[in-house]
Amino acid sequence: MPLPDTLQTMLAAPRESIIEPLGAFLAAYIHPTDEAPGRVRRGLEEVLRSTSDAEWRAYIDYLAALGLDWGQQDAHPVGRAMTQALMEPLLAPDSRIEGVEHLEAALGRGRRVLIVGNHLSYVDPTAAWALMHRQGQGHLADRVTAVAGPKVYEGEPMRLMGASANHAIKVAQSSQVSAEGGLGPREIVAIARSSMKLAGELMDDGRVVLIYPEGTRSRTGALGPFLKAVGRWLTLDGVLLVPFGLQGTDRIYTLDDDRLRPTTVIGAYGPALDPSDFGRRDEVVAAARTAVQALLPEEMRGA
C-alpha cells in the first residue's frame, strides 16, 4: 500500500535528519499516559541511530511494497527492532505468555504446527511476538507466520510498522465476512487455496502458521464463531493444532481509537490437538474452538 503522505515526505529525508522527528511522529500514536510515549520515542530513536543508511533505505523500499500482493509477506529486521521498541513500553511488567512448552512439544513431534487463536486486535501477533522475545523465546516467536487479511496492510503508519515485524500470509477475507473490492467468490477461493498450499510449504520448512478462525476481530472481546471455511486450514495434511488464548490486546489498540495504550497482556498455549483423532471436519473446528475457549477467562469464552 502507498505510505501516508506525511510519513512519505519525512522518510524521503536523510536518515540522520529524521531520527528525532520520526521518533516524535510515531510516539504521538501512544496515548499520553505515564511514561510510555517518552520510552517509545527514546527506543525508536535508538533503533534509528543504530541502523545504517543502507539498511534504512532497504526498509523504506520494503514498506512501499509490503502487502501489495497476496501470499508471503516476511518480516524485516529493522521493522522488528522498531516494533520491539514500540511494544516493550506498552506491555506491563506482569504481561506474559504461558504454556510455551505445549508449542515446543508439538514442534518436537516433527509435524506441521498450526496455532489456532482468538482475535482481539491488530496487535495480537505483534504483542505475542514481543512478549516471547522478552521471555527469551525469540527463537520460537520468529518462526510464527500469521494468516492476515488485507486490512492489516491498510491505515495508519503504526499498523504498517507492526506488520513489518511479523511473517505473514496475506489472504482475501472469507466471503462469510466480506467480499474484497473487485473479487468474486471464485477468486477468493482461489486465493485461499494458494494460501493453504503456501502455508503447508512454510510449515514443512520449519515455520509455525498462526490462524484466527473467527475471520475478524471480536467486537466485544468474547470469542466468536469459527468460520466454516477454516475447516480446510485446520485439517491440512499432517498438521497439529496448538490452541492459543490471548487477552488484553484489545486494550492496547481499541476499535475506536488509533492511539495505543499500555496494559497487561496475557497469552496461553494449550496442549496440541490431532485432527486425525476426530471424524468430520466440523468436529475438528468445534474441538479447536473449545480448546481456545478453555484458555480464556469465562467472560471471553463466548456462546
Q: What is the pLDDT of residues 81-110, one digit of tens each?
A: 999 999 999 999 999 999 999 999 999 999
Q: What percent of the chain has pLDDT over 70?
A: 93
Quick one: which of 134, 128, 133, 151 has its CA closest to 242? 128
Average pLDDT of the chain to the nearest whole number: 91
Taking a C-beta distance cutoff of 8 angstroms, is the pair 163, 169 a contact? no
Quick one: which of 111, 118, 103 has its CA closest to 291? 118
Strand pairing class (266-269; 239-247): antiparallel
Taking a C-beta distance cutoff of 8 angstroms, is the pair 81, 108 a contact? no
Torsion angle of the four alpha carbons 230, 234, 235, 241, in this order, in degrees rounded to the nearest 10: -170
pLDDT in tens, 147-175: 999 888 876 777 888 899 999 999 987 65
pTM for this entry:
0.92
Query: Is 170 in a helix, a strand, or coil?
Result: strand
- What are the residues facing 114 on neighbouring strands? 209, 241
482468538: which residue's cell?
118
What are the boundaries of each domain within the chain?
A: 70-300
Q: 119: which 3 cell numbers? A: 482475535
Most confident of 1-15, 28-42, 62-76, 251-265: 62-76
pLDDT at 128: 98
pLDDT in tens, 196-237: 999 999 999 999 999 999 999 999 999 999 999 899 999 999
Amino acid at 127: A
Strand pairing class (167-170; 144-148): parallel
Query: Is 162 in a helix, a strand, or coil?
Result: helix
Sign of CA dihedral 143, 149, 150, 151: negative
- What are the residues facing 241 on neighbouring strands? 114, 273
Between CA 40 and CA 32 the distance in angstroms is 11
User: Distance from CA of residue 74 to its chain's centroid?
Assistant: 12
Average confidence (pLDDT) over 59-79:
94
Neighbouring C-alpha atoms within 13 Å toward the C-beta of 224 = 15
CB atoms within 10 A of CB 279: 8
Strand pairing class (208-211; 239-247): unpaired
Taking a C-beta distance cutoff of 8 angstroms, is the pair 150, 279 a contact? no
pLDDT at 161: 87
Torsion angle of the four alpha carbons 255, 260, 261, 263, in this order, in degrees rounded to the nearest 10: 80
For 70-300, the fitting CATH number among 3.40.1130.10, 3.10.20.600, 3.30.230.10, 3.40.50.1820 is 3.40.1130.10
How far CA 174 is from CA of 6, 160, 171, 212, 226, in Å, comes to: 33, 22, 9, 12, 11
